[in-house]
């Protein structure tokens, strides 16, 4: 509105007139208040280090009048500064309109910025093409049309001031920041420099800076509600720590100078060094590339209304281990093998312009066994003048240091060999090594670019040194060793001298150790590399030859705040601390997260690109146990939200690189090696290292095991080349049995099968072998006829499984082992007697007292797989004969048969012949027995012959005092003597020696035996056998009755509810689910097809055979204890019946445990 005053004073309202005139003022308006406030509106922006505009310079206006909407700017404001203090002495500002005629503006400058509408109804002026640190005024063209804005005088309205800053990172040693960087190598130190435009930095030391996570909103102008500078936190991964306590309360000042602000210097520098999480974080130390926005506040920064705006960026560039194969060099990867280390920057854009990536840098290699070394550890590590104990080739910087990098190669890789390919690095101890880097060293040998920082970890492949083995000379053994990065291409050798670190050929011990004994033993010889194997997804549960393996893949991978869980298709047999690397069949997460999860990292080429010309390097992840056998965990925690990983449809593969083993094929013959043999050295070679053996695994000491106190092999008849039963008797002595916690074995070793050959129960030769993976309980019954122990409570230890080991041939001698494996705490015990009955064929050259076989008891198979607790040879016992002789033939004294005559018929054969008779107890509680010896025409037994009647089961009968008479119409007056088959160990009186006997085709004496005591134990089938020997033992006969066997029903089977604290009954409450434990000792064998039935009370719910057995107070048995779990049969829980499969047997004298599930009744259950 336009008003007119007739009086010229506007005092008298009557003299004031409102004119009918519209006054239009073209230009911009703002909501600001105060004199010339719009002319002093400020816009803070910055230029990048390359001169480009880093953030848009913009101003906000509430409205616009006129159609030009065109702006430009004034000349640069001019400032003078004090040369010493940097204080701003004078500023010459520039005005719009009249002063722009001489401004350095080109035609293209005029009108290149326009005003546009904003979303909130206002208007935004955005200016571009400013590429220098400056302060300029913003001027608006007030012409009616845009076409009229053709000269500087047309831009008459002052609408704001633009302040353009420049920000850069500098070397802490570059006090003037003459070389400015936007990219900085991770961990490298730097200082910050902010160049101030005129009037851009106020006087005083109130300026602050913070480095925040990069975000597009950081570039928004400070007046914009989108601006994130003011409300974002300083990243604590920057050194120095604790720059800011809150989003606005920051403590580090940029100083008093007004021409520039500066943070940091030689003694107070900045660096990107994330804090390591102790114990759980195992991410690759390279880190992902990190970009940070630098936000600046010029004063009063602690106030909520303080102005923060972006002034630049810092890009942290990760450094990668580089692929050096392109230069014809070998990477450093194997212990004792020289190699070269190179590094590559993670960004092509930063190549050659990143602070800290230039010639003259240095590296250190330090042991990092737990993969948790920090920059502090790098800084503290020192090298002596000369070769360090851990690494050869890195010296103090006072010498011609191999740590100085050569010039940057054309492919952008830094090589730490000073440009000389012959300068290499050799690491002398296997393990995880941290690579520490410093980009610049001073003359004193200190890093003048800040501390050394960890830039990578890698595994130096090889065995852990100093391992040792004590191996008893009792049979086949293996070498199981630990290390780093072990592979199934690595090999071992035995050496009589220490292994050379330089990789020279070991001095072989070919005359002492033989290999290949899973088939035919052979001397190792001068080219005898011993293969090693590692556990992997395709080698789970392999047999001794590392064949017949199972495949167990990873099918699920889940990450959370506590680590990563791996789910497997089966039990991978991975233990606590095993180091694994996961295969490439996994996807998800970032490249860094995926490589860290897998433990496999790619070498990089120029700009951080993945190189495919070299195998990846590894840092295996340590395994932790999971919720059950199908799960394992990895102690890797991701900083951000846990990523999602998936596997291929068939799952992901994996390899354990922390442990390797040979086949169980090695043999140290006790004929050439023993306790007096000096220790042998085990040398290691990488499969990728040619013929060089570069590390010593350790030493092996061979020792003779303690001798078992007593052992003997009693052959029931001294007959050669014919199958005859034999009783192996032995007595243990070593108290070390009590300390064994794991699985154990009892091995019967036939030391020369041409002299003593084992036969199966069915009288078949033992061919080939059963590998451990195929061992089963049924194998026990294929070989063992009886077993006995003097442990009345425990009985004979019940085997988990048995197997025939493969026949071994050494120096033309065939050897064979029969192995019984027992559950933990269920094997043989100290100071106890044992007997095993099996069939044999003995060569004619065997004599009384000759070593027939060897008995070996093993220690813990897991902890001490090559150690025997006791071992001893069992001499042959021939019961009067001095040597074995031929089987009776022709007219030699022989029996036609031996038969039982008394008893109640119990079963008959199809033809009506009696199969089983049942003996009845006499009123006196004893048994009477009648045997008939039937002669054969022309093969008479004369008075000078000897007849022995032996009762089977051989280990169960104990005849005691009895009377023998001949009940026959013929003349018969035998002389009877009760004796033991084995007088040393078992001492069962189970043999009746008859002399002065005459048996012919018409004289069939009947022997009446009275006063037999009731046989200990339970129910079993009994048979009689007879051994007939001619005078002088020139021939012998062994015969058994084939029909008319005796079913001896003696005492009831020995069974009991386990008595312990709580009676094996941990939950004795009404209606509560409960369990009772039954323990049964079998006096007779359970033969194929046998049925075990348990009659349970009405409140019975289920019954099971536990595996593994519980240990401790529940069963109230001491370590070790007999007992075991029935395997290989079918269980009918509803009827509580167990059916044994064909070819299986539960040996007489064995004890087993059975669990009964019960629902406790509300009433008292009586006895009986």
Distance CA 905, CA 916 (A): 6
- At 958, the pLDDT band (50, 70, 90 cuts) reads confident
21 SS3 class: coil
Assign 355 to helix, strand or coil: strand
pLDDT band, very low/low/confident/very high, at 854 (cuts 50, 70, 90): very high
- Cα 482–488–494 angle (5° rounding)? 65
Output the pLDDT for position 31. Answer: 84
CA 186, 187, 188, 189 dihedral sign is positive
Determine the average pLDDT of the residues in 353-377.
81
Cα separations (Å) of 1126 from 538, 686, 1140, 1141? 30, 45, 9, 11
The residues, any chain, with a CB within 8 Å of residue 349's CB and separated by 6 or more, are: 183
Q: How confident is the model at residue 1060 (pLDDT cuts 50, 70, 90)?
A: very low
Task: Provide the token pair at 591.
Answer: 């490249």
Q: What is the mean pLDDT of residues 353-359?
A: 81
Dihedral over alpha carbons 40, 45, 51, 53 (to 10 degrees): -110
Distance CA 40, CA 571 (A): 75
HEC assignment per residue over 914-937: EEEEECCCCCCCCEEEEEEEEECC
Q: What pLDDT was estimated at residue 2?
A: 79
Helices (H) and strands (E) in the chain, counts: 3, 81
pLDDT at 57: 81
**CA 42, CA 58: separation in Å to the nearest integer?**
9
Cβ atoms of 1143 and 1160 closer than 8 Å: no
332 pLDDT more than 80:
yes
Is 222 in contact with 57 (CB distance < 8 Å)? no
What is the structure's pLDDT at 738?
A: 83
In this prediction, residue 1131 carries a pLDDT of 66
What does the pLDDT read at residue 699? 93
Query: What radius of gyration, in Å, describes the C-alpha atoms of the chain?
Result: 47
Structure tokens at 979: 């004796």
Contact 589, 645 (CB under 8 A): yes
The per-residue pLDDT for range 100-154, each reduced to its tens digit, is: 533 333 333 434 566 676 666 667 777 666 778 999 888 888 877 777 777 778 8
pLDDT attached to residue 648: 95
What's the gap between Cα 830 and its chain centre? 36
Tell me how many degrees the CA angle 868-871-877 measures, rounded to the nearest 5.
160
* 850: pLDDT strictly greater than 60: yes
| Residue 115 exposure: Cα atoms within 13 Å on the Cβ side | 27
Q: What is the mean pLDDT of residues 745-773?
A: 86
Kindly state the average pLDDT of the residues 790-804: 80
* Residues 870 and 708 sit within 8 Å (Cβ to Cβ): yes
Q: Which residue bears the tokens 């004090």?
A: 82
Rounded Cα gap, residues 738 and 690, in angstroms: 47
pLDDT, mean over the chain: 79
* Max CA separation in the chain (angstroms): 179
pLDDT at 642: 82
pLDDT band at 809 (very low <50, low <70, confident <90, very high): confident
Stretch among 92-96, 125-129, 576-580 having the lowest mean pLDDT: 125-129
Per residue in 287-301, pLDDT tens?
556 789 999 999 999
Rounded mean pLDDT of 65-80? Answer: 82
Q: What tokens were used for 1014?
A: 């009731």
Closest C-alpha to 317, from 172, 458, 190: 190
pLDDT digits (tens, 9 = 90+) for 157-190: 898 999 999 999 988 888 899 888 888 887 788 8
Q: Which of the residue ranges 253-257, 953-957, 1073-1077 would you say has the lowest mean pLDDT?
A: 1073-1077
Strand partners, 523: 514
Residues 470-494, mean pLDDT to the nearest whole number: 89
Q: Which of 568, 565, 576, 563 is nearest to 536 (CA)?
A: 568
Percent of the chain residues past pLDDT 70, beyond the cut: 76
Residue 982: pLDDT over 80: no
Q: What is the mean pLDDT of residues 973-980?
A: 76
Tell which wins on pLDDT, 1115 or 1162.
Answer: 1162
Asked if 560 contacts 642 with a C-beta cutoff of 8 angstroms, the reply is yes
Residue 449, pLDDT score: 67
> Which H, E and C letters describe 127-194, residue by residue?
ECCCCCCEEEEEEEECCCCHHHCCCHHHEEEEEEEEEEEEEEEECCCCCCCCCCECEEECCCCEEEEE
pLDDT level of residue 348 (50, 70, 90 thresholds): low
* Strand stretches in 407-466, DSSP E: 413-415, 426-427, 431-438, 453-460, 462-463
User: What is the predicted pLDDT for the residue at 585?
Assistant: 96
Per DSSP, the residues of 206-269 read --EEEEEE--GGGGS-TTSTT--TTTPPPPTTEESS-SBSSSS-B--B--S-SSEEEE--SSS-
β 391-392/426-427 pair status = antiparallel
> Has residue 1155 got a pLDDT over 80?
no
Q: Are 1006 and 932 in contact (CB under 8 A)?
A: yes
1017 pLDDT exceeds 60? no
| Residues in Cβ contact with 972 at an 8 Å cutoff, skipping those fewer than 6 apart | 966, 997, 998, 1003, 1005
What is the three-state SS of 295-315? Answer: EEECCCCCCCCCCEEEEEEEE
Q: What is the pLDDT of residue 903?
A: 61
Residues in the chain: 1168
């Amino acid at each position: 509105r336009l008003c007119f005053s007739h009086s010229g004073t506007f005092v008298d309202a009557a003299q004031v007139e409102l004119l009918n005139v519209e006054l239009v003022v073209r230009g911009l308006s703002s909501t600001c208040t105060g004199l010339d406030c719009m002319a002093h509106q400020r816009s803070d922006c910055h230029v990048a280090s390359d001169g480009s505009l880093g953030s848009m310079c913009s101003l906000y206006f509430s409205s616009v009048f006129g159609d030009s909407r065109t702006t430009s700017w004034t000349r640069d404001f001019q400032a003078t500064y004090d040369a010493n203090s940097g204080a701003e002495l004078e500023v010459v500002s520039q005005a719009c309109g009249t002063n722009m005629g001489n401004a350095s503006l080109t035609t293209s400058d005029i009108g290149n910025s326009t005003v546009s509408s904003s979303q909130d109804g206002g208007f935004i002026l955005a200016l571009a093409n400013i590429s220098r640190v400056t302060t300029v005024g913003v001027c608006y063209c007030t012409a009616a049309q845009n076409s009229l804005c053709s000269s500087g005088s047309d831009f008459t309205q002052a609408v704001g001031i633009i302040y353009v800053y420049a920000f850069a990172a500098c070397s802490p040693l570059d006090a003037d920041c003459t070389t400015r960087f936007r990219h900085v190598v991770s961990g490298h130190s730097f200082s910050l420099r902010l160049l101030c435009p005129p009037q851009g930095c106020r006087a005083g030391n109130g300026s602050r800076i913070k480095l925040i996570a990069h975000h597009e909103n950081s570039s928004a102008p400070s007046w914009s509600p989108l601006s994130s500078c003011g409300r974002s936190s300083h990243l604590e991964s920057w050194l120095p720590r604790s720059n800011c306590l809150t989003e606005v309360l920051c403590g580090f000042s940029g100083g008093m100078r007004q021409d520039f602000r500066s943070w940091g210097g030689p003694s107070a520098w900045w660096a990107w060094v994330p804090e390591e999480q102790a114990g759980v974080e195992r991410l690759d130390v390279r880190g992902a590339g990190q970009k940070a926005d630098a936000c600046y506040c010029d004063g009063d920064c602690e106030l909520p209304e303080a102005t923060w705006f972006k002034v630049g960026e810092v890009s942290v560039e990760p450094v990668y281990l580089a692929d050096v194969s392109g230069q014809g060099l070998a990477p450093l990867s194997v212990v004792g093998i020289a190699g070269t280390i190179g590094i590559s920057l993670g960004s092509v854009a930063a190549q050659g312009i990143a602070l800290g990536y230039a010639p003259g840098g240095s590296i250190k290699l330090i042991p990092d066994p737990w993969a948790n070394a920090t920059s502090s550890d790098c800084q503290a590590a020192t090298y002596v003048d000369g070769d360090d104990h851990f690494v050869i080739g890195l010296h103090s910087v006072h010498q011609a240091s191999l740590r100085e990098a050569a010039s940057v190669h054309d492919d952008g890789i830094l090589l730490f060999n000073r440009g000389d390919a012959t300068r290499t690095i050799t690491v002398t101890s296997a393990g995880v090594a941290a690579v520490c880097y410093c980009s610049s060293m001073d003359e004193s040998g200190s890093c003048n670019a800040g501390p050394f920082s960890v830039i990578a970890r890698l595994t130096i492949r090889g065995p852990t040194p100093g391992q040792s083995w004590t191996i008893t000379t009792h049979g086949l053994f293996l070498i199981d060793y630990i290390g780093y990065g072990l592979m199934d291409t690595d090999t071992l050798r035995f050496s009589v001298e220490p292994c050379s670190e330089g990789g020279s050929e070991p001095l072989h011990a070919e005359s002492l150790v033989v290999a290949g004994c899973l088939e035919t033993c052979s001397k190792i010889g001068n080219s005898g590399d011993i293969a090693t194997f590692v556990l992997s997804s395709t080698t789970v549960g392999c047999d001794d030859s590392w064949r017949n393996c199972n495949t167990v893949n990873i099918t699920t991978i889940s990450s959370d705040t506590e680590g990563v869980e791996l789910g497997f298709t089966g039990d991978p047999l991975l233990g606590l601390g095993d180091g694994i690397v996961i295969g490439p069949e996994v996807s998800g997460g970032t490249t860094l997260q995926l490589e860290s999860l897998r433990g496999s990292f790619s070498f990089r080429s120029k700009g951080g690109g993945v190189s495919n010309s070299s195998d990846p390097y590894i840092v295996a992840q340590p395994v932790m146990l999971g919720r059950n056998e199908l799960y394992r965990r990895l102690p890797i925690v991701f900083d951000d939200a846990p990523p999602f990983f998936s596997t291929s449809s068939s799952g992901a593969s994996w390899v354990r690189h922390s442990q390797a083993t040979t086949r169980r094929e090695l043999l140290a013959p006790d004929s050439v090696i023993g306790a007096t043999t000096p220790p042998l050295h085990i040398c290691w070679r990488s499969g990728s290292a040619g013929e060089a053996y570069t590390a010593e695994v350790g030493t092996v000491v061979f020792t003779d095991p303690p001798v078992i106190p007593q052992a003997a092999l009693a052959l029931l008849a001294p007959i050669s080349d014919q199958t005859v039963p034999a009783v192996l008797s032995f007595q243990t002595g070593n108290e070390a049995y009590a300390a064994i916690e794991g699985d154990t074995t009892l091995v019967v070793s036939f030391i020369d099968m041409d002299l003593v050959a084992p036969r199966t129960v069915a009288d078949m030769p033992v061919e080939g072998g059963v590998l451990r993976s195929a061992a089963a309980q049924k194998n026990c019954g294929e070989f063992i006829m009886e077993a006995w122990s003097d442990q009345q409570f425990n009985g004979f230890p019940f085997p988990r499984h048995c197997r025939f080991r493969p026949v071994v041939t050494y120096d033309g001698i065939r050897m064979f082992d029969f192995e019984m494996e027992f559950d933990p705490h269920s094997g043989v015990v100290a100071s106890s007697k044992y007997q095993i009955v099996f069939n044999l064929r003995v060569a004619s050259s065997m004599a009384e007292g000759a070593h027939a076989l060897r008995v070996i008891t093993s220690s813990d198979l897991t902890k001490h797989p090559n150690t025997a607790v006791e071992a001893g040879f069992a001499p042959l016992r021939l019961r009067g004969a001095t040597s074995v002789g031929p089987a009776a033939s022709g007219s030699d004294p022989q029996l036609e048969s031996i038969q039982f005559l008394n008893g109640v018929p119990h079963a008959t054969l199809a033809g009506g012949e009696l199969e089983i008779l049942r003996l009845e107890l006499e009123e006196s509680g004893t048994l009477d027995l009648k045997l008939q010896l039937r002669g054969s025409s022309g093969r008479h037994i004369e008075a000078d012959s000897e007849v022995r009647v032996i009762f089977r089961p051989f280990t169960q009968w104990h005849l005691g005092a009895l009377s023998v008479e001949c009940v026959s119409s013929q003349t018969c007056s035998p002389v009877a003597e009760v004796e033991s088959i084995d007088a040393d160990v078992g001492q069962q009186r189970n043999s009746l020696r008859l002399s002065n006997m005459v048996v012919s085709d018409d004289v069939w004496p009947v022997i009446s035996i009275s006063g037999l005591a009731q046989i200990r134990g339970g129910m079993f089938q009994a048979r009689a056998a007879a051994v007939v020997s001619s005078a002088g033992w020139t021939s012998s006969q062994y015969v058994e009755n084939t029909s008319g066997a005796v079913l001896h029903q003696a005492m009831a089977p020995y069974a009991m509810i386990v008595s312990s604290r709580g009676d094996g009954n941990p939950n004795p409450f009404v209606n509560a689910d409960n369990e009772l434990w039954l323990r049964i000792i079998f006096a007779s064998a359970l033969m194929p097809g046998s049925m075990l039935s348990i009659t349970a009370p009405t409140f019975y719910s289920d019954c099971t055979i536990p595996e593994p057995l519980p240990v401790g107070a529940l069963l109230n048995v001491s370590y070790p204890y007999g007992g075991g779990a029935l395997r290989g049969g079918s269980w009918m829980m509803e009827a509580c019946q167990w059916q044994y499969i064909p070819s299986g047997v539960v040996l007489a004298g064995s004890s087993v445990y059975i669990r009964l599930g019960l629902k406790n009744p509300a009433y008292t259950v009586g006895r009986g």
